[in-house]
Structure 1
Amino acid sequence: MKTFITIAIPGSPSSLWATVRSVGTFNVACSFAALWTLVKVIRALRWRLRTTQLRGPPRTSFVYGVSNDLISSKDNATMYEHWAQEYGVAYKIPAVLGQTKIVLSDPRAIAHFYARESWTYVQTPLSLMLIENLVGRGLLWSQGESHKRQRKALTPAFSNAAIRKLASVFYDSAYKVKSAWDTDLESSKDGNAIIEVQNWMNHVSLDTIGIAGFSHDFGSLDGKHASVTEVFDSFGNSPQASALHRVFFLLGSAFPIIAKIPTKRTKLSKKLNVTMGEISNDLLLRSRREKDVNVKEAEEEKSIIGLLIKAEGQEAELHMPEEEVIAQMKVLLLAGYETTSVSLTWALIELSRHPDVQTKLREELLAFGADPTYDQLKANLPYLDAVVHEILRLHPAVPEFSRCARVNDVIPLSEPVCTESGEMTDSISIAKGSLIVISIRAINRSLAIWGPDAKEFKPDRWLSEDGISGKAKEVQGHRHLLTFVDGPRTCLGKDFAIAEFKTVLLVLVKNFVFEMRDGPDTEVEIVRGILPRPRVVGEDGIEVPLRVRRYE
């Protein structure tokens, strides 16, 4: 005897099938989530077994660790320094979704790290994605042998001999600013004017890299608004990231694919990438056509654009495909616009806050007389050199540096640290996959490294051997600073940037007196453009209005 059981299911057959599919999809999603969790647990256990377990601050957020605290802070360098004082020269911080980062604040450990950078320590997946979205697969993106090849191809353009020939370009840009400001001051009733200096410094840097690097004048100092300047400026006009973008950025360290979600800022990055790509392509096409016109091959190959065209040739020893060539041009455009202009703006702010330093600098420049040559800029103006390097110390354009360990490593320390278990160790084991962080701003301003006046703007520290002493001398990198990082990825344009910085500052300080518009105690904050930038509190965008008058 057969028994039949009838089950009544409401709805049509199509809704039943949709329900079955929904359950199936849910199960698949759960399986992937379980697999992802299992992989993460295994990796975490392996990491814990192979990595020295250091002490560090407690997690303040279950999801974000202390990452949200760091990006929300007005001065996270102080947080890093406080943790170093409490936990030692190497410590760990809890990050997003259970991740852990190891922070190095020890000169010996940092030197070891940078010496192996680009091979042992490589870009994080999130960094690679963000860099590619912004400027493509050029020098900033590449690693290992690829980075070595690209860098070697461009190095001749940044030699002393090459930069020496560009001194006139730096002066031309500086004197264009002087001429424009003279015009403004002539029309003022009381001999002074309020000038928003950051925008001017942006355009100085952009026009200079355009002419010096690509034989192209963007004309931004003459009031022309090329497409690239409009996109660059759009970052500054809305520097604060939205709350949603901040969440995406934080979670991106665990899920890099999030960086491709089209937020307002990622759309802006893509637009900048496309715009710089179009301009770079036009400049490259024009330079190819002009390759044999009025330019000797030997001279051409020492310019940036000449070296790129040479590298593009199939027979070139350091061959670059067109994609890489365009990417290098975008990197140089971006660097030319951002880094030097940030430093120049900070220099004018600090000189406005410290009129005694401004006066002393002006006296040195006026006593020297005529505009110095490139070699004289390097060797004959010690106080100008001191002011420039004090700005680079206090206000590095890139404040933080993160990398991922590609293989296991052991990092030596100059002083022992106490581990989580209470043992003392003078080296730390790093497992493959470990995230390493160096706060450049914290190291450059560290009381433990630079002494009790580390936070002060004090150019005189650079004028004597005693000024840079103790642990500061143990910091490797340009002049004991991490501003240009160190090792295989030391900033290729370092000497170019310093020469431009000195030239523009020299011309401006010789001819003008700068004051904070609302007095020396005017509050300045750091906001996010493409890189962190200064802004007078209460102003829109990234504006830094200063009171300017002629020096007479």
Structure 2
Amino acid sequence: MNYRILVYSFVVATGLLLLWIIYQTFVAPRFNPLQQIAGPPTHGWFKNHLYPILEPSISPRVHEAFVQKYGRSIRVRGVGPWDERLLTLDPVSVAHVLKHSTTYEKPWQSRSLITSLIGCGMLAAEGQIHKRQRRVATPAFSIQNLRALVPLVFGKGAELKDRWMTMVVQEEQLEVSCAYPPKSRIDVCHWISRATFDVIGLAGFDYNFNAIKDETNELFVAYKEMFEVAISQGQIGRTLLNIYLPYFSALFPDKSMRTVRRCQEVIHRVAGQLVQESKRKILDGEKSGSGFYSRDLLTLLLKSNMATDLPPDHRISDEDILHNINTFMFAGSDTSSLSLTWTLLLLAQNPEMQSRLRNELLAIAPASSESLSALTEDEIQSLYGIISNLPYLDNVTRESLRLIPPVHSSIRVATQDDEIPTMYPVYKRDGTVHVGKTSVTVPKGSFVHVAVEGFNLDKAIWGDDAWSFNPDRWDDLPESALQQPGLYSNTLTFSAGPRSCIGMRFSMIEIKTFLYILLTSFVFDVTDDKIFKANVVLTRPYISGKFKEGSQCPLLVSLFSPEK
């Protein structure tokens, strides 16, 4: 009797589950309000639009075609017929989504992947946890604290310059190149990544990876290997298994997961010791009355978290501190290195602009022929103050970050039913305008695509040359561009709203300092390789036909000579 009841219960439960799946897959989507707005057709139940809207090699053309045909509030298909999404290229809509960060959160799937790698720092945290972490971290990113890191950035920039000079001179001595002046083929993507790792290591927790010198440091190798797992072209099936069945995946780990575990053990041991050591120094300084001063973000985070005026329920744990240091390592090194890489490539492709920028930088260079290492900290601070305000350098930086933002796009999920306001008309499926409708109805659980690159490259906003590299556009922006949302120069490169990039100012210090040091020392030319963009977590450069070899951006680098 009990056996029959058990079988009957199992059959009923299975039947109910099957009915629920059928309802969610075939019935519920028909009543989704997003079904009422215009969007591209799908041919087949499991066909979707994710590749064309997420692939930077074609997405500008796709976004342009969609807007012309369907308007700026576009229905797109996700992974299946139950997954109707909103792709918005309406500035009022995207401002609403990014401003209301508790209504529109990162999907749990994204947060799960991030947390499995670097923990629940500010990239993955939501709600009160994110607010608490952001509140503790904000003082560390003040202008005063970041400016104190300028000499550190100069030091690593000079070290990278010296390494490249050695490589170029060795090329000349080996007489490999027949060109004069001698040119060395350098993968700037690889080398700048090593330099920014060094910078964020020192700035993050006063730890020198010495990655420019070599790549043998235990902690550096752990971070690098773990981040490479994140951007590797792995099997989609295993990724989905890690997200939706993490316990099964943990019981039967693949090679990638074993690598992540091994790296995390090193990071928790070494970086964890750094957290405890900094905490001890702060407490010892308080006991002795002499205090403890250090400019690294870890010390500043700990001091902010231990401040007497911070209520206990607003503090974060040592584990959260470590997670956020991991977050700074991942977000801080990769985004800055890619921004610099793309900028150097764009300047190599536009030699006249490169020369113009170099002349501006040389005009403010110290008269002394001594190296940067001979400058005092005050002299470096003074020099950077001038560099940061150079008009053409500012234009080049803004234009590069507009044209190729490291984050191609972002996605949010609605935590409740909402009406997203619009500036432009909303079109129905039949192509007619929703008369009197000035919003899009978004049901709870729906995904909203924020097209970062789409906004940055919108020809209706930036002009017909929006897809071209034109630093001079910033001297006379169209009125439409001045009305765009965004933390940085009317672009979405650093996002907007409560979850905008906390490290934007630090990134600008890195980018402008490195450009100054490298462009006053070297001339950059393109190689015969065809470089293309691919969205692999971030927008990365690859050599055509060599995608499996990983991200690369080789340039021909020669020493700059004023006589040239």
TM over 0.5: yes
Query: 281, 287, 303: which is aligned to 1:290?
Result: 281
1:513 counterpart (509, 523, 535): 523
Partner residue in 1 for 2:371: none
Give the C-alpha shift of residue 174 in structure 1.
Answer: 0.3
Matches within 5 A, 1:107-186: 107-117=91-101, 119-186=102-169
CA distance in 2, matches of 1:238, 1:289: 33
Moved more, 300-309 or 422-431: 300-309
Work out whether 1:390 is the aligned partner of 2:404: no
Residue 527 (structure 2) pairs with residue 503 (structure 1):
no
Question: Is the 2:421–2:440 contact (alpha carbons within 8 Å) kept by the matching residues of 1?
Answer: yes
Task: Specify the alignment match of 1:35 in structure 2.
Answer: 20
Q: CA deviation at 1:458?
A: 0.9
Cα pair 1:122 1:403 within 8 Å, conserved: yes
CA distance in 2, matches of 1:367, 1:547: 25
After superposition, residues 129-278 of structure 1 pair within 5 angstroms as 129-189=112-172, 191-231=182-222, 233-234=224-225, 241-242=233-234, 245-247=235-237, 256-257=244-245, 261=249, 262=253, 272-278=263-269
What letter is aligned with 2:343? A
Give 1:95 shift.
Answer: 1.3
Looking at structure 1, the residues matched to 262 and 90 of structure 2 have their Cα atoms a distance apart, in angstroms, of: 40
Q: Decide whether aligned partners of structure 1 residues 367 and 493 sit closer, same or farther in structure 2, where only a CA change above 3 A counts.
A: same
Name the CA distance, whole Å, in 1 between partners of 2:260 and 2:43. Answer: 31
Structure 1 unmatched runs, 5+: 1-16
Query: Please, what is the CA RMSD of the aligned residues?
Result: 3.1
Q: How far, CA to CA, are the matches of 1:332 and 1:375 in structure 2?
A: 25
Say whether the 8 Å CA contact 2:408–2:535 is kept in structure 1.
no
- Match for 2:538 among 531, 543, 550? 531
* Cα shift at 1:482: 0.2
Matched to 2:512, the amino acid is K
Alpha-carbon distance in structure 2 between the residues aligned to 1:541 and 1:182: 25
57, 79, 84: which one aligns with 1:100: 84
- Give 3-state SS (helix, strand or coil) of 1:383's partner: helix
In structure 2, the CA distance between the partners of 1:139 and 1:433, relative to structure 1 (3 Å rule), is same
Q: Describe the superposition over 1:223-268 as per-residue Cα deviations: whole angstroms up to 9, x where unpaired.
A: 14223433555465995524xx23565x689x74479745655555
- SS of the equivalent of 1:388 reads helix
Q: Residue 53 of structure 1 aligns with which residue? A: 36
Structure 2 unaligned blocks of 5 or more: 176-181, 367-379
1:489 paired residue number: 499
CA contact (8 A) 1:400 1:440 kept: yes
Corresponding letter in the other structure for 1:101: R
Q: Distance in 2 between matches of 1:283 and 1:471?
A: 48
- Summarize deviations over 1:320-369 as a string: whole Å, max 9, x none: 01221111111011122211011111111111111111100000000112
Distance in 2 (CA, whole Å) between partners of 1:67 and 1:267 is 30
Task: Give 3-state SS (helix, strand or coil) of 1:514's partner.
Answer: strand
The answer on 1:460 being equivalent to 2:445 is no
Distance in 2, Cα, partners of 1:161 & 1:94: 46
Q: Which is further off, 484-493 or 144-153?
A: 144-153
Partner of 1:364: 360
SS at the partner of 1:325?
A: helix
* Superposed counterparts of 1:402-417, under 5 Å: 402-417=411-426
Structure 1's 149 and 240: CA in aligned 2 closer, same or farther, altered over 3 A?
Answer: closer
CA contact (8 A) 1:125 1:256 kept: no
CA distance in 1, matches of 2:537, 2:219: 13
SS in 2 for 1:415: coil
Asked whether the 8 Å contact 2:211–2:217 carries over to 1, the reply is: yes
Instruction: Read off the aligned partner of 2:490 and give its amino acid letter.
Output: H
Instruction: Go from structure 1 to structure 2 and tell me whether the alpha carbon gap of 1:387 and 1:332 turns closer, same or farther (over 3 Å shift).
Output: same
Change (3 A) 1:76 1:301: same
| 2:456 paired residue among 444, 447, 467 | 444
Of 415, 428, 443, the match for 1:419: 428
How many angstroms apart in 2 are the aligned matches of 1:325 and 1:537? Answer: 40
- Cα 1:407–1:529 shift into 2, 3 Å: closer
CA spacing shift, 1:100–1:542, aligned 2, 3 Å: same
Give, in angstroms, the shift of residue 22 of structure 1: 10
* Identical pairs, percent: 27
Contact 1:403–1:435 (8 Å) recurs in 2:
yes
How far the C-alpha of 1:148 sits from its partner, in A, is 1.6
- Equivalent-residue separation in structure 2 for 1:485 and 1:430 (angstroms): 21
Q: Secondary structure of the equivalent of 2:324?
A: helix
TM-score with structure 1 setting the length: 0.86
**1:109–1:414: 8 Å Cα contact kept in structure 2?**
yes
AA partner of residue 209 (structure 2): F
Q: 2:301 aligns with which of 297, 308, 313?
A: 308
Q: Which amino acid aligns with 1:104?
A: T
SS at match of 2:423: strand
Between the aligned partners of 1:25 and 1:300, the Cα distance in structure 2 is 64
**Counterparts of 2:559 and 2:550 in 1: how far apart (Å)?**
27
Counterpart in the other structure of 2:445:
433
The CA distance in 2 between the partners of 1:29 and 1:228, in whole Å, is: 49
How far, CA to CA, are the matches of 1:447 and 1:438 in structure 2? Answer: 17
**Could you tell me whether the CA contact under 8 Å between 1:405 and 1:430 is conserved in 2?**
yes
Partner of 1:3: none
Q: 1: CA distance between counterparts of 2:248 and 2:158?
A: 42
* Deviation of the 1:74 alpha carbon: 3.5
* CA distance in 1 between partners of 2:501 and 2:230 (Å): 28
Q: Deviations over 1:368-397 (max 9, x none)?
A: 122653432332x11111111111111111
